[in-house]
Amino acid sequence: MYIRCVSNDYSTRICGEAMKVYIDGQFYDKEDAKISVFDHGLLYGDGVFEGIRAYNGRVFMLREHIDRLYDSAKAIDLEIGMDREEMIAKTVEACRVNGIDDGYIRLVVTRGIGTLGLNPYLCERASVIIIAAKIQLYPQELYEEGLRLVTVGTTRNLSEAVNPRIKSLNYLNNIMAKIEAINSGVMECIMLNSAGQVAEASGDNVFVVKGDKLITPPTWCGALKGVTQDVVMRLAGDMGYQAGFDVLSRYDLYTADEVFLTGSAAEVAPVSEVDHRAIGNGRPGPITLDLKDRFHKYVRGE
Ligand code: PMP
């Protein structure tokens, strides 16, 4: 669903020094955009967030992101203190105020100011932060050449512990995995669950292409329910491919015709190598490239 991000006199401002960050009802200059050191978002990673793109003056899949934000909050018993319509309006306003027609929006809801103990119910009220800015997740050449990935030893959070469907502020599980990837000389990784099944990348969903099938792990394998994943599956269906969820192992990655990642920030990112083994011929595959192209057209409403 598209929500129009209407341009006004702010629209010529570029996001940088003039950046304004929304915190709890007000816009602050970047350097004044601060929250308390007693906020449990900082002390315990207690909170939830969303990363959303805007294209051509429209916030892409805003309703879906807002719904996931409220589901994440519900799952951790966090009362946001603002309804979905208001959150949508504030998100669009943050884009407008910052002149963001094409960019990246970070919605953050923290548990708020509390004591030094864990008890979230002692926190006064949740804080809502909206940052509308720009992002380039991976260097442009990697979109042409493909990303190199490694599978890492850090196991994806158990669903019974912190369910990976909750997009929480506690990303240490993902960061530990990312550290392993970077320290082994690549930018991104594949996380496996405790059964050794493929879960996802550190901040993206993963797809395997085999013949005319596109397969991505179901949430119970440890994946976030991706908004981009869903869009890509629909586009792939329109292109005549069978896109579905299934359990994947490292074997499926190694023997795939093509592998790619999806995410709001990453968009559609081809993968050239997993664990130092070339995927296909080691170059981004034709289906991935076609999907990437269609995705870019789709998000721009073409
Ligand atoms: N998995 C994880 C762990 C993520 O953080 C994200 C978002 N960056 C994704 C998958 C992709 O989700 P979406 O397409 O909704 O951005």
Distance CA 66, CA 301 (A): 20
Q: Which residue has its alpha carbon closest to ligand 1 atom 4?
A: 203
Query: Is 60 exceeded by the pLDDT of residue 14?
Result: no
| pLDDT attached to residue 21 | 98
Contact 216, 206 (CB under 8 A): yes
Confidence of residue 296 (pLDDT cuts 50, 70, 90): very high
pTM confidence score: 0.94
Q: Which of 63, 224, 228, 267 to mutate to test the pocket of ligand 1 (most atoms within 8 A of CB)?
A: 224
What percentage of the chain has pLDDT greater than the value 90? Answer: 91
Which atom number of ligand 1 is nearest to the Cα of residue 264?
A: 16
Taking residues 69-77, report their average pLDDT: 98
Taking residues 245-252, report their average pLDDT: 98
Q: Which residue has its alpha carbon closest to ligand 1 atom 11?
A: 263
Residues with Cβ within 6 A of ligand 1?
51, 174, 200, 203-205, 224, 226-229, 262-265
How big is the chain, counted in residues? 302
> Hey, which residues are catalytic here?
167
Query: Is 70 exceeded by the pLDDT of residue 217?
Result: yes
pLDDT digits (tens, 9 = 90+) for 146-192: 999 999 999 999 999 999 999 999 999 999 999 999 999 999 999 99
Domains and CATH numbers, the chain: 20-133 (3.30.470.10), 140-301 (3.20.10.10)
Which atom number of ligand 1 is nearest to the Cα of residue 68?
A: 15
Taking residues 285-292, report their average pLDDT: 97
Phi, psi of 207, deg, nearest 5 = -125, 145
Instruction: Output the DSSP codes for 203-233.
Output: SSEEEEEETTEEEE--GGGT----HHHHHHH
Confidence of residue 280 (pLDDT cuts 50, 70, 90): very high
| pLDDT attached to residue 159 | 93
Confidence of residue 275 (pLDDT cuts 50, 70, 90): very high
How far apart are the CA of 261 and the centre of ligand 1, in A?
10
| pLDDT attached to residue 302 | 82
pLDDT digits (tens, 9 = 90+) for 103-147: 999 999 999 999 999 999 999 999 999 999 998 888 899 999 999
| pLDDT attached to residue 17 | 54
Classified as helix, coil or strand, 199 is strand
